[in-house]
Amino acid sequence: MQNGEATTTPQRTTGRANQKLRTHTAIVQAAVELMRTGREVTMLEVAKAALVSEATAYRYFPDLASLLQEAMAGQMPTPEEALKPVADSRDPVERVAAATEHLLRLVLTYQGATRAMIAATITRPATAGARPGMRFGLIDHALAPLADTLGTDDRAALAQLKNDLAVVVSAEALFSLTDLCRLDPEDAIASVVRTATTLTRAAVEATAAEAG
């Protein structure tokens, strides 16, 4: 102690840093475990599971979207892993069907977190970048064989197909069918897959007709 002032020792600084890291890790892990239940995810419930106060959780994460973004990182398979069952297929229709079903089953598994993320980013559009955006990687990978065969003049059609699929291959489409149309989840998935493959087949046939 000098001039009546306490000095901060390296050990104390390290101890605080380690404690912050442990708290941060506990909050993220609690969010991951809560996500896996499929139940509603709130900052309060995450804080309870992490054995910290809600105020503490907000000190580490400014909003639920940022917490869910970190919690989801590393939890989802890559597009290559997701489409491994159709890795040998060059048929874009078959690949899009597999990508669509894969995404929607993930949405059902992590339904609470998905709904929370959608709600958070819709009310605060500036945070939309926090959403994983898995559909885009899956769509790109599913259509990769088609992209490889297209000429320069067909690129606009491919881009339009990707935009069309981004609307359909989505949690929002699934929730519209289950929440508003009251479809059973399996029937809802089948409906979205049917729509996605219809769009893809029509685009492929139109491209082939123009080429012919």
112 with 35: CB under 8 angstroms?
Answer: yes
Task: Specify whether 178 is located in the same domain as 119.
Answer: yes
Q: Which of 29, 52, 72 is the last residue of a domain?
A: 72
Quote the CA–CA distance of 4 and 113 in Å, as a whole number.
Answer: 51
Q: Does residue 198 share a domain with residue 142?
A: yes
Structure tokens at 65: 């979207």
Say whether pLDDT at 1 is over 80: no
Judge if 160 and 62 occupy the same domain: no
Domain membership of residue 5 (yes or no) is no
Question: How far apart, in Å, are the Cα atoms of 12 and each of 2, 8, 60, 132, 195?
Answer: 17, 6, 20, 37, 60
Domain boundary among 20, 37, 72: 72
Reported for 185-189, long-range contacts at CB under 8 A and 24+ positions apart, including other chains, are: 185/108, 188/104, 189/100, 189/101, 189/104, 189/105, 189/108
Kindly report the backbone phi and psi dihedral angles of residue 5, in degrees, each rounded to the nearest multiple of 5, phi listed first.
Answer: -105, 135
Residues 64 and 130 in one domain: no
- 56 and 87 together in one domain: no
Q: State the chain's mean pLDDT as an integer.
A: 89
Q: What is the pLDDT of residue 166?
A: 96
What's the pLDDT at 56?
A: 96
In which band, very low, low, confident or very high, does the pLDDT at 76 lie, cut at 50, 70 and 90? confident
Task: Say how far apart CA 86 and CA 97 lie, in whole Å.
Answer: 10
**Side chain identity at 101, as an amino acid letter?**
E
Q: Does residue 65 sit in the same domain as residue 121? A: no
Unique residue bearing structure tokens 């892990």: 29
Q: What is the pLDDT of residues 77-121, one digit of tens each?
A: 999 999 999 999 999 999 999 999 999 999 999 999 999 989 888
175 neighbors 115 (Cβ within 8 angstroms): yes
Here the CATH number for the domain that contains residue 15 is 1.10.10
Could you give the number of structural domains in the chain? 2
Q: Which two structure tokens, joined as six digits, stand for 24? A: 């941060």
DSSP 8-state secondary structure symbol assigned to residue 63: S
Q: Give the per-residue pLDDT at 6.
A: 52
pLDDT of residue 132: 78
Identify the residue with better confidence: 120 or 34: 34
Paired tokens of 100: 């669509």
Q: Is residue 3 part of a domain?
A: no
Residues 192 and 109 in one domain: yes
1 inside domain? no
> pLDDT, tens digit, for every residue of 141-165?
999 998 888 766 678 889 999 999 9
Asked whether residue 101 falls in the same domain as residue 205, the answer is: yes
Residues 160 and 63 both lie in one domain:
no
CB atoms within 10 A of CB 133: 11
Domain that holds residue 163: 79-211
3-state helix, strand, coil in the chain (%, to 5): 80, 0, 20
3-state secondary structure of 204: helix
In a domain, residue 53? The reply is: yes
How far is Cα 46 from Cα 66, in angstroms, rounded to an integer? 13
- For tokens 């597009």, the residue is 79
- Among 53, 72, 91, the domain-final residue is 72
